[in-house]
Amino acid sequence: MHDTVLKAGDHPFDQATRVTLRDGRWRGETSDDYRAFIGPFGGFTAATMLRALLEHPDRAGDPLAFTVNFCAPVAPGTFDLDLHLIKANRSSQHWSITLSQDEIGAAAFATVVVAQRRETWSHQTAQPPVTTRYQDAKVLPDFGAAPWINQFEFRFTDGAPRFGRTPLVEPASAHSKVWIGNAVPRPIDAISLSAIADAFFARVFHVRGEVVPFGTVSMTTYFHVDAAELAAENATAVLGVADANVFHKSYCDQTGELWTASGRLLATTHQIGYFKA
């Protein structure tokens, strides 16, 4: 447990997802701290791709919609990020990002819409979840899974996973509520929010009560606040609400919401994943 909040840039997450521009090309590098079962944690890959765009000098606006398709496991080492502005108008831009490596080719492909938000009529129809307060929820202990999990702090308030050696006799609920933040506290911004959007444990783990081979295939995150609003929230953890609708022929979906303690919905996320069970 760390009490000191590290600002963006000094945090291990920022060091791991840093990108550089060399000879007109953006480049990143994998991190052992964010390794999953096969290749990097998907949220790390997504966050690194989004960081490259947010640091691009031609980018105008804050993330609105961000879709990442994970084409192949990223091999340890460096990777290239090719960014292209597809279309721009007065208030939004549409970008594509391809993450590639020489030995693999394209390993991930993303589309991003950034927008310049303007003051207008506002109304949040979604109601904040009723749950245990962050400070009253217990931290999930280390259970020796993939290294990336140790980079976050999970405080389940509903639907905590049960990881046994055999599957449950009857499928359990796919629904859970969990406070998620970096293990070393860091202010939540768009980049960290894009990683947390993929930090929910796979719903199949909850339903079957065991860890099985799993990987995100495609994930879309919709951002409902801009950078200034995120900074004003000054949050270091968010309440994640996750669920699923169907598990069928090796693929399953997942829905997610990311809330502040004050009851503001920051982002919603949807994904399709592969499982073997």
Q: Going by C-beta distance under 8 Å and a sequence separation of 6 or more, which residues neighbour residue 22?
A: none
∠ CA 32-72-174, nearest 5°, is 80
Residue range 6-13: mean pLDDT, rounded: 76
pLDDT digit string (tens) for 98-124? 999 999 999 999 999 999 999 999 999
In this prediction, residues 235-250 reach a mean pLDDT of 98
Instruction: Read off the tokens for 138.
Output: 């217990």
Tell me: the pLDDT tens digits for 18-35? 999 988 889 999 999 999
Tell me, yes or no, if the pTM score tops 0.85.
yes
Inform me whether the pLDDT recorded for 166 exceeds 90: no
User: Average pLDDT, stretch 37-66?
Assistant: 96
Query: Quick one: DSSP state of residue 209?
Result: T
Question: 136: alpha, beta or left, given left = phi > 0 and alpha = psi -120 to 50?
Answer: alpha
Residues whose CB falls within 8 Å of the CB of residue 180, separated by 6 or more in sequence, listed in order = 152, 153, 154, 155, 196, 199, 200, 237, 238, 239, 240
* pLDDT at site 6: 58
Q: Do residues 95 and 53 make contact, with C-beta atoms less than 8 angstroms apart?
A: yes
| Contact call for residues 185 and 235 (beta carbons, < 8 A) | no
Q: What is the pLDDT of residue 7?
A: 59
At 4, the pLDDT band (50, 70, 90 cuts) reads: low
pLDDT digits (tens, 9 = 90+) for 61-97: 999 999 999 999 999 999 999 999 999 999 999 999 9
* Beta strand pairing call for 105-115 and 176-182: unpaired
| Model confidence band, residue 145 (pLDDT cutoffs 50, 70, 90) | confident
Query: Is residue 143's pLDDT more than 80?
Result: no
Spatial separation of the C-alpha atoms in residues 218 and 244, rounded to whole Å: 15
DSSP reduced 3-state for 224: coil
90's CB contacts (< 8 A; 6+ apart) are none
- Res 91: pLDDT: 95
For residue 141, the model assigns a pLDDT of 86
Pick from 15, 33, 68, 64: nearest CA to 273: 68
Could you tell me the pLDDT band of residue 54, with boundaries at 50, 70 and 90? very high
Question: Cα separations (Å) of 190 from 23, 37, 161, 200?
Answer: 27, 25, 27, 17
Say which range, 140-154, 167-181, 221-235, 246-260, has the weakest mean pLDDT: 140-154
Place of tokens 């900074």: 231
Contact 266, 197 (CB under 8 A): no
* Segments of 214-264 assigned E as strands: 214-223, 237-243, 247-248, 251-259
62-70 and 214-223: which strand pairing? antiparallel
| Mean pLDDT on 220-246 | 97
The answer on pLDDT for 225 being more than 50 is yes
Instruction: Report the candidate in 181, 244, 178, 252 with the shortest Cα–Cα distance to residue 215.
Output: 252
Assign 1 a pLDDT band (cuts: 50, 70, 90). Answer: very low
